[in-house]
Amino acid sequence: MSRPAVVKALWGAAVLVLVAGCSSGGTEDRPGTAPPTSATATGSASSSAASSAASSAAAPSGGRVAVTGTLAEGLKSPWGLAELPGGDLLVSSRDERTITRVDGRTGAKTSLGEVPGVVPGGEGGLMGLAVRDGWVYAYLTAESDNRIVRMRYGGADGDRLGVPQPVLTGIPKGIVHNGGRIAFGPDGMLYAGTGETGRTGLAQDRDSLGGKILRMTPEGKPAPGNPVAGSVVYSYGHRNVQGIAWDAEGRLWAAEFGQNTWDELNLVERGKNYGWPEVEGRAGEARFVDPVAQWPTSEASPSGIAYARGAIWMAGLRGERLWRVGLSGAERSGDPEAFLTQEYGRLRTVLAGGGGRLWLVTSETDTRGTPGPGDDRILRLEVS
C-alpha cells in the first residue's frame, strides 16, 4: 500500500517539531520526508563513494523481490523477530513490552505476555530477540540501563515465558540510540549491537558498552578470543547498530545509523574501530574501517539486516525500502538496489527463513509512522 506524499510531508513537519532541541539527525531515523522515489521493484541505489544526487540513479538489474503474502497483521510497535524450531516466529513489541508467537504457516497469534522489567521510552523498550536451546533472549531497556535477559520457554510450561534472568547488564540507555539487535553467530556466541545514547564519546571509549558490537557466551561472559580478555567488546566506534548478520562464509556484517550524511553497512572485524564520532561514512584513514556501502540518511535509516541469496538485505525506516547489497567475498558486488520503495512504509526487521525466503516486519506504529489498516505486519518475501 502506498503512502501519499502529502501525508508524509505533513507528518515529517510535525515530527521535526517534536524532536526540536536534539542535534540534527539525533534520532534513530531522523523523521522527515524522503526524496520522491519510484515504488517499482527497483529504486535508487547508493555507492560508498556516491553523492546524494548520484545515488538516485537506477541500479543495474540484479536481485529480485516478490512479496508472496502477509503472514500476520495488527502488530503494535513490532521490533525483534526470531524463528523457533519448527518454523513459528516470536515477535517483540517495543512499547507494549510483550512477546507474541506467530504460527509460521497460518499467522495465528498467541500472546506470551509482558516481559517484566521493561521500561519503554523514546527509542527504548523491548527490542531484539534470539532463541537458543530452550531459551528466549531479549535486549531491553530497564529502569537504569539497557540489558540482555533470557527466559525459559517451551517444555512443560507450554506457551509461557519463564522469569527473566540477567545475561548482561550495564549497557548505557538513552532516549535515542539504544541499539538493540541480538543474534547468535556461527561460533555459538551471542552478539549485540549497542548505541551511544546520543553521548558520542562513548563510541570511542573502550571501557563503555555503548556504541559497540558485543560478543559473549550464552551466559553473558566475555567470549574467548575477544580483543581484550575479560571484555565483551568486539568492535567499537559505532553510532547506533540495529542490524547484524553473517554471510555464507561466516563474516559478520552490521548496519548503523549515520547522523546527517551517511548511513553505513560495515564488514565487522575483531577489535576494529569504525570511526564514530570522528568520521561519518567513508574517511579513507588507516585508523578507521570504511563502510562497504553507504547511503544518504534520507534513503535508509537502517535497522535489521539478513543474508540470503548472496546478498545482504537491509530494512530502511525513514527510507521506507528494502536494500539489496550483493557480495563477492568480503567486497560489495555492484551498486546497492532498492526494492518496495514506499510501498509498505517504514521497515524495521528482516529475517532469513532459509533458501530465498525472508520475513519482513513493518514499523508504522512506533509513533513515527503513518499507520494504515492492518499495520503493523509481517510479510513473506521470496528473493533472488
Q: Which long-range contacts (CB under 8 A, 24 or more apart) does 219-225 make?
A: 219/167, 220/148, 220/166, 220/167, 220/168, 220/190, 223/187, 223/189, 225/270
Which residue type does 185 have? G
- Rounded to whole angstroms, the Cα distance separating 15 from 363 reads 16
pLDDT higher than threshold 70 for residue 51? no
pLDDT higher than threshold 50 for residue 126? yes
Residue range 249-263: average pLDDT?
Answer: 97
pLDDT higher than threshold 80 for residue 45? no
Which residue type does 323 have? W
- The larger pLDDT score, comparing residue 39 to residue 319, is at 319
Residue range 229-254: average pLDDT?
Answer: 98
**Predicted local confidence at residue 96, as pLDDT:** 98
- The larger pLDDT score, comparing residue 13 to residue 370, is at 370
What percent of the chain has a predicted confidence (pLDDT) above 90? 82
pTM: 0.87
Instruction: Starting at the earlier edge strand, list the strands of the sheet with 146-152.
Output: 126-132, 135-141, 146-152, 165-171
CB burial of 283-308 (b: ≥16 within 10 Å; e: otherwise) equals eeeeebbbbbbbbbbbbbbbbbbbbb
Q: Tell which residue, 52, 161, 180, 71, has the closest CA to residue 114.
A: 161
Which residue type does 337 have? E
**Predicted local confidence at residue 41, as pLDDT:** 39
Residue range 342-354: average pLDDT?
Answer: 97
The cell numbers describing 70, all together, are 502477509
**Predicted local confidence at residue 44, as pLDDT:** 36
Residue range 177-187: average pLDDT?
Answer: 98
What percent of the chain has a predicted confidence (pLDDT) above 70? 84
- Rounded to whole angstroms, the Cα distance separating 276 from 118 reads 28
pLDDT level of residue 106 (50, 70, 90 thresholds): very high
- The larger pLDDT score, comparing residue 44 to residue 105, is at 105
- The β-bridge partners of 101 are 90, 110
How many CB atoms are closer than 10 A to CB 18?
A: 12
The cell numbers describing 58, all together, are 537506477
Q: Which long-range contacts (CB under 8 A, 24 or more apart) does 325-333 make?
A: 325/265, 325/292, 325/293, 326/62, 326/63, 327/247, 329/249, 330/251, 330/267, 330/292, 331/292, 332/47, 332/48, 332/292, 332/293
324-347 tens-digit pLDDT:
999 999 999 999 999 999 999 999
pLDDT higher than threshold 80 for residue 358? yes
**Predicted local confidence at residue 58, as pLDDT:** 33
Contact 230, 205 (CB under 8 A): no
71-105 tens-digit pLDDT:
999 999 999 999 999 999 999 999 999 999 999 99
Q: Considering the chain, what is the average pLDDT of its residues?
A: 88
Q: Judge if the upstream peptide bond of residue 376 is cis by omega within 30 degrees of 0.
A: yes
1-42 tens-digit pLDDT:
444 343 333 333 333 333 333 333 446 664 433 333 333 333
**Predicted local confidence at residue 158, as pLDDT:** 77
**Predicted local confidence at residue 49, as pLDDT:** 33
Least confident of 58-72, 254-268, 285-299: 58-72
Task: Give Cβ neighbours of residue 156 (< 8 Å, ≥ 6 apart).
Answer: none
Residue range 45-65: average pLDDT?
Answer: 46
**Predicted local confidence at residue 26, as pLDDT:** 44
Three-state secondary structure call for residue 54? helix
pLDDT level of residue 155 (50, 70, 90 thresholds): confident
